[in-house]
Every structure is written in structure tokens, then in C-alpha cells.
Amino acid sequence: MNTELDILKKIQENKKKPTHVRLISRQTGFGPDYLRYICKDLLRKNLVNYQGGDWYLINRRGEEELERKGLIKLRKPSKITKISTVSGLAFWKPKEIEVKTIPVVSHKIEMDFSKPKEEKLSLGKKVEKAVLFLKKLRSGK
């Protein structure tokens, strides 16, 4: 078995609790530094989540990878529920899905597309003189 998959399986065995590198080290016999390296590689591949310190938690993608390799079997919920059995015949009905509605708040945005306002900039005296000179040239005076 691949070392990464072996370590991923050890992390998965703790179910929903984060696993410390030292615990995996004791279980597998690998050194903690090597396990940190492997866990960082699993994190880079997005198979585990980093929980701070040396704690790691397997995520859904990691579980799917283990299932794809045949190391675990995930229990998938059934989408069909059995309603009743009448004289040996079973009637099936899809599960009802609860739909939550989110209130939508619309805000009216008002935009003013009128003429732009002209404001005098506080520029240096030389720049202001140059601007006035250019305005006079433009107007032809």
C-alpha cells in the first residue's frame, strides 16, 4: 500500500476528530518529521484539512480517494424510502426534500448621471497658471 494512503487511512480512522502527527507516528512506526512532510503533501493535494499545530482532519475528498482505492466503504444515504408493503408488493416514494427560502431584500440604487461637477483643485501656483493659460488658448482669447 502507498505510504500516503496508509497515513490517510490512519487519519480517517479517528472519524470526525483531528489526528496528531505523533499518534500516527506511534501507529505506523514512521518518524514525526517524515509524517509532517507526508501530511503537508496530503494537504497540498486537498485530501486533509489543517487544524493547527500538528493536527490534521480528513475531508470528504480524502474519504472519496480512500473509497476509490477500495480501502474503505462510505455509507451513502438512500434517496428512496419504503412506504408500505401490501400483500408482498412494495410501494416506493422519493424522500421529500425540505426547501428553505431566503428572503430577498432589494435596494433601489439611484445614480446621478447629470453633468460632472467642476471642482477647483488645490494645485501649486505654477500648475494653476499653466491650466489657466491652456484654458485661454483653448477659448481663443
Cell reading at 23: 499518534
| Separation between Cα atoms, residue 8 and residue 22, nearest integer Å | 14
* pLDDT at 125 (0 to 100): 77
What residue ranges do the domains of the chain occupy? 3-68
For 94, half-sphere exposure in the C-beta direction (CA atoms, 13 angstrom radius) is 3
| pLDDT (tens digit per residue) in 117-134 | 666 656 677 887 888 888
Q: How far does Cα 131 stand from its chain's mean position?
A: 53
Q: Any idea how long the chain is?
A: 141
Q: Provide the pLDDT confidence category of residue 141 given band limits of 50, 70 and 90.
A: low
Helix or strand run (H / E) with residue 86 = strand 80-86
The stretch 35-45 carries a mean pLDDT of 91
3-68, which class in CATH?
Answer: mainly alpha
pTM: 0.51
* pLDDT at 69 (0 to 100): 83
Question: Residue 61 in contact with residue 8, Cβ under 8 Å?
Answer: no
